[in-house]
Amino acid sequence: MPTIDPTIAAWQSENREIGMLEFLPTDSAPERFSYWPLPSNAAFLGKVESDALCLMDDGTLCVYDHGVADRILCPAAPNQPNLIAAMTAMDDFFKRCDGDDKLADDESATIEIREKCTDTVGGADYASFIQLFFWA
């Protein structure tokens, strides 16, 4: 199993929330994702709503569906640095929206950051993961 990046490990220890993703301690998987046992080659990193964000033994990240055992809902990132960069950009945007209703309601700004995060995380193969965080 690859080592969890120190940034992600820090986010897990503080239960950091970015949009609907909550980073949680890896050892909390049985309690936090009680629907199905995750595969042995998957390290639990947190929850995207009810689904599990996992680091796989090949270094990729994916979201496991809470509704069907062993079903990958979507690939999340090709590696941890890309996920961190995309989530950081997304978090910065969400923080700016907190104090700015006009920005929060600006569909073109939302589309722009969604596209930036999709490119940052690794491109079109990961667009369905990034789309989970945006309404536009």
What whole-number distance in Å separates Cα of residue 80 and Cα of residue 66? 22
Convert the pLDDT of each residue in 42-98 to its tens digit.
999 999 999 999 999 999 999 999 999 999 999 999 999 999 999 999 999 999 999
pLDDT greater than 90 at residue 2:
no
For the chain, give the percent of residues with pLDDT over 90. Answer: 88
Which of 2, 45, 38 is closest to 22 using CA atoms?
A: 45
pLDDT greater than 70 at residue 121:
yes
Convert the pLDDT of each residue in 98-111 to its tens digit.
989 999 999 999 99
Q: What is the pTM of this model?
A: 0.94
| The pLDDT value given to residue 136 | 61
pLDDT greater than 90 at residue 135:
no
Mean pLDDT of the chain: 95
| DSSP E strands, the chain | 17-18, 21-23, 42-48, 51-56, 61-64, 72-77
| The pLDDT value given to residue 95 | 95
Convert the pLDDT of each residue in 26-48 to its tens digit.
999 999 988 888 999 999 999 99
| The pLDDT value given to residue 99 | 86
